[in-house]
Chain A
């Protein structure tokens, strides 16, 4: 396992976040940022009451964000439960929007490895382009890091060509030291992306957690030359916060990561707030949610 321990000081991270978040993004840089944010969204629905109808509506929204503004980018992906993969896949035919499926007994991950691998194979067979797995937090917190790493490697293998996002569920890991260690383990074990949260545990993606994960990605890149992607998920519903995350990416990882190939927002309501900001920027009039389709 990792022999070099990367220690994290919580207050120092919070101060760095505050400093990054005090950047003032105005005018052209703001419009560019808003467009970039849209293109990075994994439009998500992960509810027990999800139905084919709901997923189809969401897929339509993904393609038609706001038709009054034809030049807008589409979102990066739709993120759904395994059983919804065929529906999403069909709805997004002939678009460049990916279908991401959560897997490995999402959100708890409390299942056998065999169960998890079967689930992964199933969603990949159904056409999922991306797989969002959860790590075994119980094992991690017991110090069974090898188990966690091996599980990720096995899932990665099961993914085949599909991209693997590894959800750390940082709200359950609690400390930033754990977040950093889990990030290092996940990347080494084969993650294409590391992702903060399921959205089912509070707190979800917090800025300090995202910063620590970005720094882990940067260090891993410096060491191996491999670019790992990042996906904060949960609790990101405002354009302002999303832009602040872009600042964080730019100043931590650089321009290369300012792209949907390497950065995603897992969000359900962020897109509309971004759209409202884009319209506001071009009309100078503050907007109302009533003028933007829910999904």
Chain B
């Protein structure tokens, strides 16, 4: 009997709803712990990041003006798609060193987290918007508006749940995002991009890069057309760099350190608020 050869997957970037290779042509050799599998991961460049920000900026208006109900359904759809492709994630998580039980747990939590933020998409506005009783003949109300284009450095120590926990609140609030996947465990990130791609998420809303954190963190934090940066990790120097660079255009630096993403304490609507702006409108009341 002839042995059939597997078709191996090429891991590419996800920018503007497309799966390009890095424009730099560079790659990172990724080998699993058992040395059984070898994958060439794109080593994303600052130009890839630049392109991703352009895509995210272009997608922003459309995404933020979707109805909350629609955004909610799309997030739910991501959860559905993830559920449907769990075996693929199981394989990759195990390949990246998880036990089967751990991998199952991470996938379950990831799906549940998407459903959690899907539910928030059409509710946070109701909880956190308000009518302000000003002492003047005006109707005054405050509501939440997306901060804009967000760059995100996903946690290094978690492959899928960390990525999902970062992306979901950002897009639930109507922002678009360029995220740098875990450098150590990048496989799930690109597979997750495929999930996004089949979930009615418009191109450019989520852009996923792989590459070296040390090479890209400066670009992620300094880009003048990025409105907020989410940093996950606890490297003091990196945090300092991100916060310093944020000053260039007063982008909002949001730092999540030492989070156990499998813990339910790491999910709450305040994380959506982190990339939202309060807008207050005044209007006279008269005839």
Is residue A2 within 8 Å, beta carbon to beta carbon, of the partner chain?
no
Number of contact residues on A: which range applies? under 10
**A176 contact set on B, CB distance < 8 A:** 287
Contacting residues of chain A (163-193) with chain B, CB-CB under 8 angstroms: 174-176
**A175 contact set on B, CB distance < 8 A:** 287
Chain A binding surface SS class: helix
Structural contact, A14 and B287, CB atoms closer than 8 A? no
**B7 contact set on A, CB distance < 8 A:** none
What separation, in Å, do the CA atoms of A14 and B136 have in the docked complex?
Answer: 12
Closest B residue by C-beta to A12: B284
What separation, in Å, do the CA atoms of A23 and B191 have in the docked complex?
Answer: 71
Is residue B138 within 8 Å, beta carbon to beta carbon, of the partner chain?
yes
Closest B residue by C-beta to A174: B287
What separation, in Å, do the CA atoms of A150 and B286 have in the docked complex?
Answer: 31
Is residue B285 within 8 Å, beta carbon to beta carbon, of the partner chain?
yes
Is residue A11 within 8 Å, beta carbon to beta carbon, of the partner chain?
yes
Is residue A57 within 8 Å, beta carbon to beta carbon, of the partner chain?
no
Smallest beta-carbon distance A103→chain B, Å: 31
Smallest beta-carbon distance B89→chain A, Å: 58
Is residue A10 within 8 Å, beta carbon to beta carbon, of the partner chain?
yes
Smallest beta-carbon distance A215→chain B, Å: 16
Smallest beta-carbon distance A231→chain B, Å: 24
Chain B binding surface SS class: loop
Is residue A9 within 8 Å, beta carbon to beta carbon, of the partner chain?
yes
What separation, in Å, do the CA atoms of A233 and B235 have in the docked complex?
Answer: 77
**B137 contact set on A, CB distance < 8 A:** 11, 14
Closest B residue by C-beta to A178: B287
What separation, in Å, do the CA atoms of A12 and B137 have in the docked complex?
Answer: 10
**A174 contact set on B, CB distance < 8 A:** 287
What separation, in Å, do the CA atoms of A116 and B138 have in the docked complex?
Answer: 44
What separation, in Å, do the CA atoms of A12 and B285 have in the docked complex?
Answer: 10
Closest B residue by C-beta to A13: B286
What separation, in Å, do the CA atoms of A12 and B282 have in the docked complex?
Answer: 13
**Highest count of chain B CB atoms <10 Å: which of A10, A11, A174:** A11
Contact with A along B112-151 (1 / 0, CB 8 A): 0000000000000000000000000110000000000000
What separation, in Å, do the CA atoms of A10 and B284 have in the docked complex?
Answer: 8
**A11 contact set on B, CB distance < 8 A:** 137-138, 284-286
What separation, in Å, do the CA atoms of A10 and B287 have in the docked complex?
Answer: 6
What separation, in Å, do the CA atoms of A14 and B285 have in the docked complex?
Answer: 11
Contacting residues of chain A (1-51) with chain B, CB-CB under 8 angstroms: 9-12, 14
Smallest beta-carbon distance A170→chain B, Å: 13
What separation, in Å, do the CA atoms of A9 and B285 have in the docked complex?
Answer: 9
**B285 contact set on A, CB distance < 8 A:** 11
Closest A residue by C-beta to B286: A10
Closest A residue by C-beta to B137: A11
What separation, in Å, do the CA atoms of A253 and B138 have in the docked complex?
Answer: 29
What separation, in Å, do the CA atoms of A176 and B138 have in the docked complex?
Answer: 18
Closest B residue by C-beta to A175: B287
**A12 contact set on B, CB distance < 8 A:** 284
Closest B residue by C-beta to A176: B287
What separation, in Å, do the CA atoms of A217 and B183 have in the docked complex?
Answer: 73
Closest A residue by C-beta to B285: A11
Smallest beta-carbon distance A74→chain B, Å: 40
What separation, in Å, do the CA atoms of A175 and B286 have in the docked complex?
Answer: 10
**Highest count of chain B CB atoms <10 Å: which of A10, A174, A175, A176:** A10
What separation, in Å, do the CA atoms of A174 and B287 have in the docked complex?
Answer: 9
**Highest count of chain A CB atoms <10 Å: which of B137, B138, B284, B285:** B284
**B284 contact set on A, CB distance < 8 A:** 9-12
Closest B residue by C-beta to A208: B286
What separation, in Å, do the CA atoms of A10 and B138 have in the docked complex?
Answer: 11
What separation, in Å, do the CA atoms of A90 and B251 have in the docked complex?
Answer: 83
Smallest beta-carbon distance A207→chain B, Å: 15
Contact with B along A113-140 (1 / 0, CB 8 A): 0000000000000000000000000000
What separation, in Å, do the CA atoms of A10 and B286 have in the docked complex?
Answer: 6
What separation, in Å, do the CA atoms of A175 and B287 have in the docked complex?
Answer: 6
Smallest beta-carbon distance A9→chain B, Å: 6
Contacting residues of chain B (251-287) with chain A, CB-CB under 8 angstroms: 284-287
What separation, in Å, do the CA atoms of A12 and B286 have in the docked complex?
Answer: 9
What separation, in Å, do the CA atoms of A14 and B287 have in the docked complex?
Answer: 12
10 contacts between A and B (CB under 8 A): A9-B284, A10-B284, A10-B286, A10-B287, A11-B137, A11-B284, A11-B285, A14-B286, A174-B287, A176-B287
Which 7 pairs across A and B sit closest by C-beta, in order of nearness? A10-B286, A11-B284, A11-B286, A11-B137, A175-B287, A10-B287, A9-B284
Identify the B interface with A (CB < 8 A).
Answer: 137-138, 284-287
Q: 14 more A-B contacts (CB under 8 A) besides A14-B137, A14-B286?
A: A9-B284, A9-B286, A10-B284, A10-B286, A10-B287, A11-B137, A11-B138, A11-B284, A11-B285, A11-B286, A12-B284, A174-B287, A175-B287, A176-B287
